[in-house]
Structure 1
Amino acid sequence: MPLTGHCLCNAVTYSVDVDEPLITAYDHCDDCQRQSGSTYSLVAVVPKAKLTVKGPVKTWTGKGSSGNAVHRSFCSECGSPIAHDPDAAPEIIALKAGTLDTEIKKNLKPDTEIWTVSKLPFCQEHLAKPFKHMPE
């Protein structure tokens, strides 16, 4: 069964032809904190080749710590962040897990934390696999 999701206004929908994410992670990087407006961004990392997106998506491109571009896509209608796509890892894309369909996101089991170097001090203790930056 594919993973499916949409933005807040339903103008952007997506489907990923996989049964589950490669990893589900708390992403503590400063950029994800700012994009999500929260202490971290819950991301579902999936193979980019398996993702189909429909609707009015805009992209803002910034620079990651690798020096490579990170493309952040969002709905051009409601502004909901959809994914971030790092050039440093061209085979994957990190979907903003809050945009997954409700029954799918209810069953997510975060298994990883990334960018813990930027983790805010009042956040809970670590999961089993913390990484200071991207998985090492």
Structure 2
Amino acid sequence: MSKLQGGCRCGAVRYTLALDALPRTYACHCRDCQTWSGSAFSQQAFLPEASLSVTGPLAVYELTTPSGRTSIQRMCAVCHARVYNSNSARPGIVVLRAGTLDRSDELDIVAHIWVKRKQPWLTLPESVPAWSEAAPVAELVQALAPR
């Protein structure tokens, strides 16, 4: 098993992933992700929490979603780059910001969610699964499954 690595922009927070290969990622086009990322979408990966080992100072921002779930955002306490989050709806799973991986240039987006909010100038490949809003969990998990 190779150790994949990543971290924040300033380098104060570093992490390793105990995974055999780079994770498959999805793009979320919701307004929250656009605001958080300052871009058209965020690129993310679902990972088992046990596969993530983090060092460095993390700041935590906790919020309650409209559905009543608790979302815990973790970011570098120095540069405030968002690194990952967890949600009470998915115990044992973390959502990694894929751009923080050292090898982020090797990632593919294999699914798109909340495309009803995508920027109009962005054209999505027809061969990649896309959902108007949140994808049904089983379908998103299937799209993200290693091939």
User: Fold conserved (TM > 0.5)?
Assistant: yes
The 5-angstrom pairing of residues 61-80 of structure 1 reads 61-80=62-81
TM-score (ref. length: structure 2):
0.81
Compared with structure 1, are the counterparts of its residues 65 and 23 closer, same or farther at alpha carbon in structure 2 (3 Å cutoff)? farther
The percent identity for this pair of structures is 32
Structure 1 equivalent of residue 57 of structure 2 = 56
- Matching residue's letter, 1:31: D
Q: Which structure 1 segments of 5+ residues have no match? A: none
Is contact 2:24-2:107 (8 Å) kept?
A: no
- Per-residue CA deviation, residues 28-72 of structure 1 (Å, 9 max, x unaligned), is 122211111111111122111211111110111123353201111
Residue 71 of structure 2 aligns to a residue whose secondary structure is: strand
What CA distance in whole angstroms lies between the structure 1 residues aligned with 2:85 and 2:52?
Answer: 13
Q: Which structure 2 segments of 5+ residues have no match? A: 137-147
Compared with structure 1, are the counterparts of its residues 36 and 70 closer, same or farther at alpha carbon in structure 2 (3 Å cutoff)? same
Root-mean-square deviation (CA, aligned residues, Å) is: 1.8
The 5-angstrom pairing of residues 92-107 of structure 1 reads 92-101=93-102, 104-107=103-106
What CA distance in whole angstroms lies between the structure 2 residues aligned with 1:63 and 1:126?
Answer: 33
Could you say which structure has the larger radius of gyration?
A: 2
Is contact 2:29-2:114 (8 Å) kept?
A: yes
- Matching residue's letter, 1:133: E
Residue 134 of structure 2 aligns to a residue whose secondary structure is: coil
Is contact 1:74-1:80 (8 Å) kept?
A: yes
- The total of aligned residue pairs comes to 134
- Matching residue's letter, 1:25: Y
- Per-residue CA deviation, residues 82-107 of structure 1 (Å, 9 max, x unaligned), is 01212111232111111101xx2121
